[in-house]
Each structure stands twice: as C-alpha cells, then as structure tokens.
Structure 1
Amino acid sequence: MTERIFCFGDSNTWGYAPGDLMTPRYPRETRWPGVLARLSGREVIEAGLCGRTAAFDDPDMPGRNGARALPRALEEAGTPDYAVIMLGTNDCKRVYGATAEEIGQGLSLCLDILAGVILPSRILVVSPPYLGENVWRPDRDPAFSPESVALSRELKTVYRAIAAKRGHLFLAASDAVRAEAWDEEHLDPAGHLRLGEAINAALFGGEGQTALKPGAGANAGSDLPGRSQAE
C-alpha cells in the first residue's frame, strides 16, 4: 500500500500565485506538495488554506484557525503515514499582536492533534519562510507591520525547540527558500521546487532527488551567504 503524506498549511501550501488574477493558484506539479509527491513516490494530501493561522481566529475571514480545522481535515484524510505542517506566517499579522512563543503555543495545539494519529517521528515541523522587509507596504500586504517581519524570523528558533522537545522532525524553510514573489510573502515557482526538495530530504533523506533537474535547489535560501539574518 502506498504511504500517504498529509500537508497542512496556509497559502504557501495551497499554492497561491500572487498577482495572477486569472490563475491565482499554481498548478499541482508546481506546488511544493506536488514536487514532494513526485520526488518521494508517495501519495500527498494537500490541506492548505489561504489566511490560515496556527490557532488564531481571523476577525475578517472565518474558518482560518488551524487548530480548529485540523481534526476535520485529518478525518477527511483518513490515517496518513506522515505529516508536514507549515504555519505561522499569518499569525505574525499586526491584528494578533502575538509573540513568537504565543505562535509556538498555537503550533503545539496542532501538533497535539497530529500526534494523536501519526507517530511523532513522522511529523515534520516546518518554520515558514521569512517575510520580506517591505511586505507591510500598502501595495503589498498592510495586514503585516515592520514588527511582523522581525517576528517571522523568530519562529525558526521557537519551532526548532518545540520539535526537538516533542520528538518531531524539523526544517527551517528559510534555510532553503525566500519569499521571492513580488509581495514578499509568497513563494515563486522556483521556491516551491526548492521547498519540495528540502521537505523530501528532511522526511526521507532525499530519496528520488534525481527526479528533478540536478542542482535545481543549489545556492538558494534566505540563510545563505549574502542574505542578512536575524534569529
């Protein structure tokens, strides 16, 4: 029986393509869950939703609370063999006024639910890509603030500690990709490719990596030399 991977996240898991009014979602083969499916040879269940938080209720968009939505999503998915969770970007919005530790508490609520049906060692916690320095500008996403940018960089350390304490796998998306799209919030197609490669490597040691163009993931990521860091 083919193993199944459950991917739970926000717009970067859903595959939002900023600026494209005709096709606002990247094709399946472009989105990182599709890349993961191709590389790993496993069935991938996509459970991404634009605007989703780890555990906050969005005052303008109902149904975005990840901890509330996760039990239903898991029920619909059946019993997956692995899980990948990447949330936290939307929790950095100014409306919540949250700290990185509070966002981590919300993530932990989701992990409690996942660990009820999936082995802890088969759950991959992914800290999201850093927000760009100008993401908060009116022509981009004013739901964020300059403080949101700094907050997004704190999640890596908090999430790593949570994963280690709970016995989960961990990957910092910022080690592999940056929010290259014009809005400084979402991944472009090349970013989806690199993130799919990195997640496959984190889960399975990179098995099947040659299925993609050699070197496609090289020299990319917000933690590479030449990129300013704040952790």
Structure 2
Amino acid sequence: MKHILCYGDSNTWGYNSETDARFPFCERWTGRLAAELAPDCRIIEEGLCGRTTAYELPLEPGRNGFAYYPTALSSADPLDLVVLMLGTNDRRKQLIVSPEESALALERYIQFTRTPVHWSGRQTPRLLLVSPPEIDPAIAENEFAFYYDENSVAHSRRLKTVYRRLAEQYGCAFLDAAAHCGPGADCVHLDAAGHRALAQALAIQVRQII
C-alpha cells in the first residue's frame, strides 16, 4: 500500500462556507481521493484553516506551515508521496507576500522533504505541488474582503506560473487546481462540486506518479 500525505490549508481541512463547519470526509477532496485510489493507497489528511506556507499570522498562532511540516512528515513516515497545496493564506492583506516569496517557501519544503535524515524519514517521498484555486474577484463584496483585496486576487492568479516553474526546476509533479475547480460562493473555499472536481484531477495525476 502507498502512503500519501496531503498538506494544506482550509481547502484541505474541508471548510464549508455555507455552514461554517467541515465537509464530511467522504465529501472532502482528500476523502474522495482516498475512495478513488482505494485499496492501493492510504491518504493522510493534514489540513489547517489559515495555514500559510511559512509566515506568521497576527492573532492566529500555529499557522506557519513550515514550522509544523517536519512533525507532519515524521508522524506519517514512511511516505511515498506528499501533496502540497498552500499559498492562499499568503495572499492575506496583513502579510503582503508575493507569489515569488510563496514559491521560495515551497522550495524549502522540497529541499527538506528530499533530505529525510533531517526528519527521521525512512525513505524520500515524491512531491506533487498544487497551485490552489484562485480567489474570485467578487470577494470585494463579501466578508472575506477583510482578509483579501484586488492584489490578493491578482497574486492568486500568478501562483500557477511560479509554482509550475518551481516544480520543473526540481523535477516535481505539478497540478493547477484552478484549471479544474474554483471557489464557491464565498470566493475562497471550495464547495462540494469543487472538492469532487479536484479529487478527480488529482486521482489521475497521482496514478501517474505512483
């Protein structure tokens, strides 16, 4: 059996903007991916609302994704594949982080993952970089305008370019989530249809990798 760690933010955690709760596992893209790949693969879901690539959020402790990443790797070891989908929370107005800085942060993930001696790994897993769904410009009209503005939207659209370049540089697999799904009514988070579409696209990609 192959073991796959899915490391991300609220779209990996499964935040449901319509209920302010969490989608059931069977409806989240991680759960759907598990069903698609069963019984040959085990999905290890590691999502957290507000998680950034490597940056601290004011008044939201524990959201620096890289700070927890070594623990997640060690806990899930041995791993065959790590799926990384981060970057949306880097777009928050409070951070003012560029897409290139998000890519630099992800580069640290790649280098760290490929040096298992640093995290007590038994083997070196493959990596699949996923550029997250783009933020919808209509966000200016809802409550999430507190966190995101027009620059956030523009930068979210550039992530696929810099992430693809990074994946090519390091020989990682890559998927542009925005080519398969978009956010729901709140302009940030996937709805049920988005989770389904992302899982289907990832299932095809993962089968090619492992």
Tell me the TM-score normalized by structure 2: 0.91
Question: Which residues of structure 1 form unaligned runs of 5+?
Answer: 208-231
* Equivalent residue number for residue 26 of structure 2: 29
* Equivalent residue number for residue 95 of structure 2: 96
* Equivalent residue number for residue 221 of structure 1: none
* Equivalent residue number for residue 205 of structure 2: 202
| Structure 1 residue 128 displacement after superposition | 0.4
Partners of 1:126 and 1:106 in 2: CA distance: 14
Is residue 2:80 matched to residue 1:84?
A: no
Partners of 2:140 and 2:6 in 1: CA distance: 27
Amino acid at match of 1:130: E
Cα RMSD for the two superposed structures: 1.7
Amino acid at match of 2:19: D
Amino acid at match of 1:196: A
Partners of 1:166 and 1:184 in 2: CA distance: 31
Q: Deviations over 1:102-136 (max 9, x none)?
A: 1111111222222234646x210000000001224
Partners of 2:182 and 2:81 in 1: CA distance: 25
Aligned equivalent of 2:165, options 155, 161, 167: 161
Partners of 2:178 and 2:35 in 1: CA distance: 22
* Equivalent residue number for residue 183 of structure 1: 186
Partners of 2:145 and 2:48 in 1: CA distance: 17
Verify the 8 A CA contact 1:55 1:109 in the aligned structure 2: no
| Structure 1 residue 206 displacement after superposition | 10
Question: Which residues of structure 2 form unaligned runs of 5+?
Answer: 117-122
Partners of 1:38 and 1:150 in 2: CA distance: 34
Partners of 2:139 and 2:12 in 1: CA distance: 19
Verify the 8 A CA contact 1:160 1:170 in the aligned structure 2: yes
* Equivalent residue number for residue 151 of structure 2: 147
| Structure 1 residue 78 displacement after superposition | 2.0
| Structure 1 residue 95 displacement after superposition | 1.0
Extract structure 1 runs of 4+ deviating beyond 6 A.
none
Partners of 2:69 and 2:55 in 1: CA distance: 13
Partners of 1:18 and 1:29 in 2: CA distance: 17
Structure with more of its chain in helix, by fraction: 2
Verify the 8 A CA contact 1:127 1:171 in the aligned structure 2: yes
Verify the 8 A CA contact 2:129 2:175 in the aligned structure 1: yes
Amino acid at match of 2:201: A
Is residue 2:4 matched to residue 1:5?
A: yes
Partners of 2:178 and 2:124 in 1: CA distance: 25
Q: Please, which moves more after superposition, 6-15 or 131-140?
A: 131-140
| Structure 1 residue 77 displacement after superposition | 1.2
The 3-state SS of whatever aligns with 1:51 is: coil
Count of matched residue pairs = 202
Partners of 2:61 and 2:101 in 1: CA distance: 20
Identity of aligned residues (%): 39
* Equivalent residue number for residue 119 of structure 2: none
Tell me the TM-score normalized by structure 1: 0.83
Structure with more of its chain in strand, by fraction: 2
Is residue 2:140 matched to residue 1:128?
A: no
